[in-house]
Every structure is written in structure tokens, then in C-alpha cells.
Amino acid sequence: MNYRKGFGLFLSITFVFLVASLSDAAEFSADMTIQSATGGDLTGRVFVKGNDLRQELDTPVGTQTTIIDQTGKVMYVLLPGQKMYMEMPNNQVTLDEGERMEEKFADQGEVTNLGTETVEGYLCDIFRIVYKDKGLGEVTVWVSRDLNYPVKIYMDNPQDKATILYTNFSEEKLGDSLFLLPEGYQKFSM
């Protein structure tokens, strides 16, 4: 897989991943597995502290890290192997406590509550979003009631079909430094 294709897959998976709910109280880490029809299988880790998020993804072109700072409204995409980063506005949709998926995504497409299912030991509410923008296709999200965070995501759009599964959850205190841009990185843009 070349760099541009790998980076494109990373950004599309990041988009799906970030559509998921984040909670003000959740604090945990988990393993992540992505099975993609176009990009193959990828693994990584996710770290969540309230609305701050860090995702580390092992790709054929090296580790790619995304850091979301909800308070600063910034998303950093890091290439640790090159000590480079790209900064983007964080306009990703997240749910605050008390918000409902159906209401939050109503203007983007049709949201259907498909019921509940236990995944990885967490009782989850299942939602399907069929986007008005046909290029985005549809996404099904299993959101843990305890974490207010997805345990599983399935996306089906014209570019790809992919499943993201989170496993080995560890509810633990996480250091703030995980969610900060590391020193010594050079900024780049595409």
C-alpha cells in the first residue's frame, strides 16, 4: 500500500471513528482492530479521557496517531516515524452526556435505533445512520451505555466496507500528556 492510499484509508477510518460518542466521564484504553475491504486489516490502540481522544494505528506505512483535543477544537494527525504532524480543525461530531444519537445526526441522514446487544461485555445501543450524502453511505454503531463510546462500528460506503472492533478495555486513569502534541514535531500539510 502506498503512503497516499494508506493515509487516505487512515483519514476515512478516523472520520468513521470520530463520529462515535464521547463522554465527559469516560477514561479508558482499548485495542482496536480494523477489517477493511480496500485497506486490509489494521490494528491499533485508543485512549479516551473525557472528550480527549488518542488513536494509534499501525499501518503499512508506519504508525499514524490522531489526537483530538475537544477543548481546543483541534485534531492532530501525527506521523511519529517522521516526527511530523498535520493540524486540522476538529469539526467532528461527538455526543455530550444527555444528547441522543437520533437528534444529533437527524440533519445528516436517517438514524434508526436497532435495539441493544452486548459486545465485549458492554451493553450497547445499536444505531444505523444512512447519510443523505450517498458518498458517505451508512454506518452502524454499537455504543456502550457504560462508556458512552462505540465498541463496534461497521461502515459501508462507495469507497470501502470496514468493521472496527474495540477489545481489551482497561478503565484506568490516563495521563494528560497522551492528548498533547509532542515537542519536536514539524508541521506539514497536504
Domain ranges in the chain? Answer: 3-169
Per-residue confidence (pLDDT) for residue 25, from 0 to 100: 62
Does the pTM of the predicted model rise above 0.95?
no
| The CATH number of the domain covering residues in 3-169 | 2.50.20.30
Distances (CA, A) of 125 to 21, 49, 83, 106, 154: 11, 21, 39, 17, 14
56 vs 54: CA distance, rounded Å: 7
Per-residue confidence (pLDDT) for residue 49, from 0 to 100: 87
40 vs 123: CA distance, rounded Å: 28
| Cβ proximity of 32 and 56 under 8 Å | no
Burial class (CB in 10 A: 0-12, 13-18, 19+), 61: middle
Lookup: cell for 124: 450497547
Per-residue confidence (pLDDT) for residue 89, from 0 to 100: 81
141 vs 88: CA distance, rounded Å: 24
94 vs 97: CA distance, rounded Å: 10
Per-residue confidence (pLDDT) for residue 43, from 0 to 100: 95
CA-CA-CA-CA torsion sign (165, 168, 174, 176): negative
Per-residue confidence (pLDDT) for residue 86, from 0 to 100: 92
Residues of the chain with pLDDT under 70: 1-25, 70, 72, 91-101
Amino acid type, 128: R
